[in-house]
Amino acid sequence: MKNHINSVYIVGLGAMGSMYAAKLQDINPGLVKIIASAERIKNYQSSGIKVNEKLYEFNYIQPGDHTCPPADLIIVAVKSPQLASAINDLSGFVHDDTIVISLLNGISSEEQIGEKIGMKHLLFAYGVGMDAVREGNMVTYSNPGRIVFGEKEDSTDSQRVQAVKELFDKAAIPNHIPTDMYKALWFKFMMNAGINQASAVLKAPYGQFQQNKQAHKLMLMAAEEVVTLSHQVGIFLGQDDINEFTRIVDGLGPEGKTSMLQDIEAGRKSEVELFAGTVIELGRKYQVPTPVNETLYTIIRALETSREIN
């Protein structure tokens, strides 16, 4: 196991992936490589990527490029519909000590990646509190949020966790290592079920959930169904977690938008299956009613389908 991370490969150059790629490139231009198809690389290179008005020309590699050595750290920053192809793209750059961090929403991407490359490579992780938005080749953010990460079990003394933390600290990437990483994943799942879905249905930026009491109520109603389900799997989210959720939302830029709202506005397929879809599935499994998430699921799928019809 290496004590220091000298190479980082990133899969996914959306708002979040671009933001972290920029921060890492700022400390060392040779540190970061972006894994992408030849077509995507051509598009990226023709226009460049601007992050908060600064132009970045990243180093790119294609999947299966055997001239590139394996990575010390791979960050997966795609959306759920692209996960299967992303797993294939990154698998050729994994060696025995490679660490893989998935920043996907939901509570299942680590297992999906682990099935292909082995769970030993995975640290569990999620991003929270960032308000990055990508439009074309422009990424803007006012709050970088933080990456919460660790071993699935107690991770504060893990050598590889400390190596990743050292890198993030050097790159000014805010981060946190919880003592209970799996509960932390469920906390992010609760947040996504609340803010992502309510924002998509209401087509509302963060400011609406900070000032509009009814929007805030809808957000919490969806989140509270996840709190109830968490007790069925021994996680036990509670009111303190709801309060922290509200605090995080209140700290976001009022004009910022969730990733799901951005997907709906752009006519892209959303991650509703990861959120309400999973809540509904778990509700049926444990015989827990989930009417709010069922309603949100129906509305979001209707929005997606209407774009397909038109």
Terminal Cα distance for the chain, rounded = 53
Q: Which long-range contacts (CB under 8 A, 24 or more apart) does 279-282 make?
A: 279/193, 279/225, 279/226, 279/229, 282/229, 282/232, 282/233
- What is the token pair recorded at 133? 């938005």
Q: Tell me, what's the pLDDT at 292?
A: 99
Query: What is this structure's pTM?
Result: 0.84
Residue keyed to tokens 């919880």:
178
Q: Tell me, what's the pLDDT at 133?
A: 86
* The three-state (H, E, C) secondary structure of 204-262, written as one string: CCHHHHHHCHHHHHHHHHHHHHHHHHHHHCCCCCCHHHHHHHHHHHHCCCCCCCCHHHH
Q: Checking phi first, is residue 29 left (phi over 0); if not, alpha (psi -120 to 50) or beta?
A: alpha
Other beta carbons less than 10 A from residue 182's beta carbon: 17
Other beta carbons less than 10 A from residue 8's beta carbon: 24
The DSSP secondary-structure symbol of 153 reads: S
- What is the token pair recorded at 57? 């020309």
Q: Which long-range contacts (CB under 8 A, 24 or more apart) does 128-131 make?
A: 128/188, 128/191, 128/248, 129/248, 129/251, 129/252, 130/16, 130/19, 131/206, 131/252, 131/253, 131/256, 131/257
Q: Are 224 and 237 in contact (CB under 8 A)?
A: no
| CATH topology classification for 8-178 | Rossmann fold (3.40.50)
Q: Are 286 and 231 in contact (CB under 8 A)?
A: no
- Do the first three CATH levels of 8-178 and 183-309 match, i.e. the same topology? no
Q: Would you list the domain boundaries of the chain?
A: 8-178, 183-309
Q: Tell me, what's the pLDDT at 96?
A: 95
Q: Tell me, what's the pLDDT at 49?
A: 96
State whether residue 197 is helix, strand or coil. Answer: helix
CATH superfamily of 183-309: N-(1-d-carboxylethyl)-l-norvaline Dehydrogenase; domain 2 (1.10.1040.10)
Q: How far apart are CA 225 and CA 292, in angstroms?
A: 8
Q: Which residues 6+ apart lie within 8 Å of 61 measured at CB?
A: 9, 33, 34, 35, 36, 68, 93
pLDDT tens-digit readout, 169-216: 999 999 999 989 989 999 999 999 999 999 999 999 999 999 999 999
State whether residue 109 is helix, strand or coil. Answer: helix
The DSSP secondary-structure symbol of 71 reads: P
Q: How far apart are CA 249 and CA 263, in angstroms?
A: 19
Give the residue ranges of the chain where pLDDT is below 50: none
